[in-house]
Structure 1
Amino acid sequence: MRNAIARTAFTAIATLAAAVAFAAPTAELKVTGVIKPPACTPNLAAGGVVDYGIIPASSLAAGQNKKLETRQVDLSITCDGPAKMSVKFTDNRASSRVAGITGRATDPYNFGLGAVAGKNVGGYALSFDANSTVDGVAARNIYSGDNGRTWNGGVVYLQHDGQLFSFGNGSNQPVAFKQLNAKINVETTLNKPENLPLSQDVPLDGSTTIEVNYL
């Protein structure tokens, strides 16, 4: 009986040893990588600064808002591959808006110019010039009020309350591009002098963030 048990144990040990001896070495092959959308970089000429310089307080007329000369700033967006994208505008001085000062129908088109001594300085409106190009070809300025589900042409003024703006073809659909060139018109209006602390310097302090979104 003891011999049978010993033979059984020996057989089990021998079988295990043979399995270990003949186990094949292994190597793992991995497939990795990341699919990335084209990267697009926006750039504004002159660092994005629209400078009106020194504005004499004496040039402001009592009871009137002062409309300054319309300025333009060049916007370019460069992508490392063809991409459909939109831009969104955020007013960083929203608390300083002066209702209706820019003459636009509604305040979503009115951006604040900052405040001094608790007084709001004024406002400005933004619009795309009609001569936008993508990859050197004329493009139509278009906009979406439903987060890109539908698009409309004929955009004039740019608003800060959630609309997306893009560049499209004749059927008002965004087109893919590697290079956008556009001009943004800046129409600035100052508050009435009686609403400003003119015993001190009153700097203009408008600030808008332009955000690129991929479609």
Structure 2
Amino acid sequence: MKFTKTLIALAIASSAAIAPTAFAQSADLSVTGRIFPGACVVELGNGGNADLGDIRLDTLQVDINTVLDDVDLPMSVTCDSAVRFAFQGVDNTPDTAINALQYGLGLTSADEKIGSARLGLVDVTVDGEEGQPRTSDDGGVNWVIHAYPEYAHIGKDHLLGFSAAGPNASPAAIENLQGTLKIRATIAPTSALTVTDEVLINGSATINLFYL
């Protein structure tokens, strides 16, 4: 995509050079881009469906949030060859989460926020070695070692990469990543929900993989 944009810019520059005064002008042009050694495929267990099951109203807290049992899905990334990449999440049910940093679970029929879910990767291995999470808050310019390596949160506002154990804060080039995606859902207090009939939990998130 970057190379395509550069070609468009080049076409515009070439058209401008046809102008009569162009012979007295000059401009420098840089054509940039990247060729990746191989593409990556992301796979989630159970077709990417995290089923929270049937939840009885009387098992939920009235005045405080209720944290449900985790739902675990196997997750893998397989690349044609070693590639540096990172994850970032997108909430497909925006403005429905009771926690703005997490992912929404939809609304009741009365437009009340049902709850939210936290997504995290655990038990990660990269090319057969223990994976250590790295995060970036500026689009991959700078990286830091994740503060909680045992539960690497896939956020909407930062990138999450992995490396083998060591002091290097940047994500490594990886050919095969294996781990468990842990979905930790929280339901709002029932005092804030209108439950006169079945309430369908309808959360949806996309985990994007970005090449670095």
Please classify the TM superposition score into its range, dividing by the shorter chain length. 0.7 to 0.9
Alignment equivalent of 1:164, drawn from 142, 147, 159: 159
Structure 1 residue aligned with 2:120: 127
Equivalences for residues 78-97 of structure 1 within 5 A: 78-97=78-97
- Contact 1:89 1:211 (8 Å CA) reproduced: yes
* One-letter code aligned to 2:115: G
Contact 2:37 2:80 in 1 (8 A): no
What is the DSSP-based 3-state SS (H/G/I as helix, E as strand, rest coil) of the residue aligned with 1:167?
strand
**Partner letter of residue 159 of structure 1?**
G
Contact 1:143–1:155, Cα closer than 8 Å, also in 2: no
Amino acid at match of 1:112: G
What is the CA–CA distance in structure 2 between the aligned matches of 1:149 and 1:54, rounded to whole Å?
43
What amino acid is aligned across from residue 198 of structure 2 in structure 1?
D
The answer to whether the aligner puts 1:189 opposite 2:195 as a matched pair is: no
d(CA) in 1 for partners of 2:58 and 2:195? 10
Q: Is the 8 A contact 1:128 1:141 kept in 2?
A: no
How far apart, CA to CA, are the structure 1 residues paired with 2:175 and 2:154? 23
1:56 shift after superposition? 0.9
Q: Extract structure 1 runs of 4+ deviating beyond 3 A.
A: none
What SS class does the counterpart of residue 47 from structure 1 fall into? helix
Question: For residues 210 and 179 of structure 2, what CA distance do their matches in structure 1 show?
Answer: 17
Deviations 1:115-162 (A, max 9, x none): 121111111112221x2111111121111111111111124433212x
User: How many pairs were matched up?
Assistant: 172
Per the normalisation by structure 1, the TM-score is 0.74
Q: Which runs of 5+ in 1 are unaligned?
A: 1-34, 100-106
Question: Is the 1:126–1:187 contact (alpha carbons within 8 Å) kept by the matching residues of 2?
Answer: yes
Code of the aligned partner of 1:167: F
**Which secondary structure does the structure 1 equivalent of 2:95 belong to?**
helix
Whichever residue aligns with residue 203 of structure 1, its letter is L
**Structure 2 residues not aligned, in runs of 5+:** 1-34
User: When the two structures are superposed, what TM-score results if normalisation uses the length of structure 2?
Assistant: 0.75
Superposed CA RMSD: 1.8
Structure 1 residue 36, shift from structure 2 partner = 5.1
DSSP 3-state at the match of 2:54: coil
In the other structure, the counterpart of 1:9 is: none
